[in-house]
Amino acid sequence: MTAQVITVTSGKGGVGKTTAVANLANALAMDGKKVVCIDGDIGLRNLDVVMGLENRIVYDIVDVIEGRCKLKQAMIRDKHYPEMYLIPAAQTRDKNAVSPSDMVRICNDLRADSDFVIIDSPAGIERGFRNAIAAADRVLVVTNPEVSAVRDADRVVGILEAEEKGTPHLIINRLNQALVRNNDMLSAEDVLDLLGIQLIGIVPEDESVIIGSNRGAPVVTDGKSRAGLAFRNIAKRLQGIDVPFMDLDQQSGLWGAIQRLTGRK
Amino acid sequence: MNFFTRKKSASSAKERLQLVLVHDRTDLTPAQLEALKDDLIKAISNYIDIDPEAVQIGLERDGREQRLVADIPLRSVSRHRAG
Ligand SMILES: Nc1ncnc2c1ncn2[C@@H]1O[C@H](COP(=O)(O)OP(=O)(O)OP(=O)(O)O)[C@@H](O)[C@H]1O
Ligand SMILES: [Mg+2]
């Protein structure tokens, strides 16, 4: 086994990085993969509550780095999927307690016996972001179809290219198809055209995402949720499986156009 | 806000972003682009007769590539020599 290390980042805050990490990890675990999530948001720990694991935390990533525990001791096993783990962020420390080389070392230790390591990046382009991308084999940039989120995503894509991290893949989150139809929200096509990177998934605006977070049960576990299906599809694409993009709007040929645009059919 | 401006909010978002991204990516402000244009006109005029008013310079986007595109019409050479 050699894990693929995937970092989820965005530039702008609040666009859905933590939501994406929790859901992709659960979807991959549902597919029988061994997954380790790392909360890279030091000082603003969140992935634990979104995954429903907050009561199990004993050690965190800074304890590992500073030698207070072994890596295995900081890996919290999920309640439902015994092959899914979370390494929580430290809550009382600042982001300087972690360096990019710490992240590379930890990920290298995890690579040997997992399929996926998924890192939740903090917002911004500072130290925490640098830490989060240091070990990445692949970066997913999350954005919303909204001017400031797209602008910040473009900055991040530029930095990733300058750092020779390769061109990241794009998740467009919180797309509201009714607004798009009214020409009151940037369409997925618009966002793709502006950013010029490859799409890996479009997640609709869906209140079941919030309900899932409230319960600590990410929405992929809800078979009826549209957002859940979108995340399950992204998880398949991460495994190299070619899944057609969801038809969010049956009334138009838009989705066919997007699929052509990104070379998928 | 009237019906028509409301209808167009996504299009105006896209147009505004197109401009902003080109300048973000090149780290070149519209003012710097103007200065570059003036310098270019001066430099070219040392060698060949051009019409400064007709020169057009802009940044264009092609996927993630940026391109500086200049259209510089030359003044007729015979007229230049006669003058
Ligand atoms: N597709 C969606 N539909 C509805 N709500 C969503 C969707 N995706 C995310 N949200 C909500 O948006 C909020 C922000 O999401 P999240 O915490 O995942 O963002 P983030 O990028 O991790 O934020 P930060 O930059 O602060 O770390 C949350 O309340 C989440 O439930
Ligand atoms: Mg977050």
Å from CA of A18 to ligand 1 middle:
7
Helices A188-195 & A147-162, crossing angle to 10 degrees? 30
Binned at pLDDT 50, 70 and 90, residue A265 comes out as very low
What are A169-201's pLDDT values in tens digits?
999 999 999 999 999 999 999 999 999 999 999
pTM for the structure as a whole? 0.89
Token pair in block for residue B14: 């896209």
Beta bridge partners of A173: A203
Which atom of ligand 1 lies closest to the CA of A15? 21
State yes or no: pLDDT of B6 exceeds 80.
no
Q: How far is CA B48 from its chain centroid? A: 21
**Domain coverage including residue B30:** 3-82
Task: Tell me the average pLDDT across A197-210.
Answer: 97
Distances (CA, A) of B11 to B6, B7, B24, B58: 10, 9, 20, 21
Q: Whose CA is nearest to atom 10 of ligand 1?
A: A16
Determine contact: B16 vs chain A, CB below 8 A: yes
State yes or no: pLDDT of A216 exceeds 80.
yes
Distance from CA of A175 to the nearest CA of B (A): 13
**Third-level CATH fold of A4-261:** Rossmann fold (3.40.50)
Which ligand neighbours the alpha carbon of A17 most closely? Answer: 1
Binned at pLDDT 50, 70 and 90, residue B79 comes out as low
Q: Whose CA is nearest to atom 12 of ligand 1?
A: A16
Determine contact: B63 vs chain A, CB below 8 A: yes
Task: Tell me the average pLDDT across A150-164.
Answer: 96
Query: Residue B76's pLDDT is what?
Result: 77
Listed in sequence order, the residues at least 6 apart from B47 whose beta carbon sits closer than 8 Å to its beta carbon are none
Task: Tell me the average pLDDT across A19-32.
Answer: 98
Å from CA of A30 to ligand 1 middle:
22
Give residue for tokens 């783990």: A85
Please count the structural domains in chain B: 1
E strand or H helix that includes residue A116: strand A116-120
| DSSP-H helix ranges across B1-83 | 3-7, 9-26, 30-45, 77-82
Token pair in block for residue A85: 């783990």
Distance from the first to the final alpha carbon of chain A? 30
Rounded Cα gap, residues A85 and A118, in angstroms: 10
Task: Tell me the average pLDDT across A99-117.
Answer: 97
CB A35 within 8 A of CB A28: yes
State yes or no: pLDDT of A251 exceeds 50.
no
CB B51 within 8 A of CB B29: no
Query: Residue B27's pLDDT is what?
Result: 84
Beta bridge partners of A202: A172
Listed in sequence order, the residues at least 6 apart from B71 whose beta carbon sits closer than 8 Å to its beta carbon are B55, B56, B57
What are A45-63's pLDDT values in tens digits?
999 999 999 999 999 999 9
E strand or H helix that includes residue A199: strand A198-204
Query: Residue B80's pLDDT is what?
Result: 52
Task: Tell me the average pLDDT across A63-69.
Answer: 97
Better pLDDT: A181 or A251 = A181
